[in-house]
Amino acid sequence: MTECFDCMDPANYAAVALKLQQTALAAEACLFPVERSLRSAANLPTLIRTLAAPVACTANVMKVLDTFATLTFTNFTPSPTFGSTFSQLPAGVWQVGAFVNATATGTVDDNTYRQLSIVTRTLFSPTSVANTYTMLETQFEANVGIGVDLTLCTTVALNGNESIQFQFLHGNTSSTLNAATGSFFWAHRLSDEIALKVV
């Protein structure tokens, strides 16, 4: 039997079958790495975590909301230590965002503040150590019965040894606030921290 098409004839079907098998496997071996490279370049690491249940927040006590969230989506293997969380994300430039609906569980103190923050912190640093990055959104309760909707989006540069925290603070002293089910936190890697070449 031969692998050469030129030598095939009606009595040598096995060579045709073998050639087609080799062609199929060779095409697959050629195309798969190209597709993988394109898809990993196009679909950059992304993580979304969502509150599956309300999180009660006491007035003037900072709450790190993302620690209560459950995984909604990820397309990469995050930290081996912390799993699919916002701690120890790979180094690089990340777009980071959050949405929180905060609704009082009892009496509403009209025009008291609601504050959502996206911060980055060095891993395992004590609370006395300042954030490496802070972005805030502050709103004041309008008391219309549906709470306050806070949305934040920013860009941070991570060094691979930091965590992102989504912190919530409020001044509604007459009752606790619930960060609602469906509030979510997300991060999407944009690039390496250093652009090797700008085209």
Partner 1 sequence: MPANTPIYGFTYPCESDAINASAFSTLANQIDAKLLDIAADRDFAIGRYNVQQDMSPNQGGIASGVATPLTNAGSTYVAPVSGIYVVDGYTSVTATTVTYARIQIRVAATAKFARSVNNETGSPLSGTWSFPGGAVIVTAGQTIDTVITFTGTGTGTATLHLNVRLIVRLA
Give contact residues for partner 1 (rule: CB under 8 A).
13-14, 16-18, 20-21, 23-25, 27-28, 31-32, 34-35, 38-39, 41-44, 46, 48, 72-73, 75, 95, 97, 99, 101, 110-111, 137, 139-142, 144, 146-153, 182, 184, 186, 188
Q: Within a 10 A sphere around the Cβ of 142, how many other Cβ atoms?
A: 12
* Residue 1: CB minimum distance to partner 1, A: 10
Q: Between 39 and 173, whose beta carbon lies closer to partner 1?
A: 39
Strand order of the sheet with strand 113-122? 63-64, 162-170, 113-122, 133-140
67/150 Cα distance (integer angstroms):
18
* Residue 146: CB minimum distance to partner 1, A: 7
∠ CA 182-184-187, nearest 5°, is 160
Q: Between 39 and 160, whose beta carbon lies closer to partner 1?
A: 39
* Residue 59: CB minimum distance to partner 1, A: 18
Q: Between 38 and 61, whose beta carbon lies closer to partner 1?
A: 38
| Contacts of 99 by beta carbon, 8 Å cutoff, 6+ apart | 149, 150, 151, 152, 183, 184
* Residue 163: CB minimum distance to partner 1, A: 19
Q: Between 97 and 175, whose beta carbon lies closer to partner 1?
A: 97
152/186 Cα distance (integer angstroms):
10
* Residue 58: CB minimum distance to partner 1, A: 22
Query: Is 192 in contact with 93 (CB distance < 8 Å)?
Result: yes
163/22 Cα distance (integer angstroms):
49
* Residue 98: CB minimum distance to partner 1, A: 8
Q: Between 57 and 150, whose beta carbon lies closer to partner 1?
A: 150
Residue 57: name the closest of 184, 170, 174, 185 by CA.
Answer: 170
Q: Between 33 and 126, whose beta carbon lies closer to partner 1?
A: 33
Residue 187: name the closest of 78, 80, 105 by CA.
Answer: 78
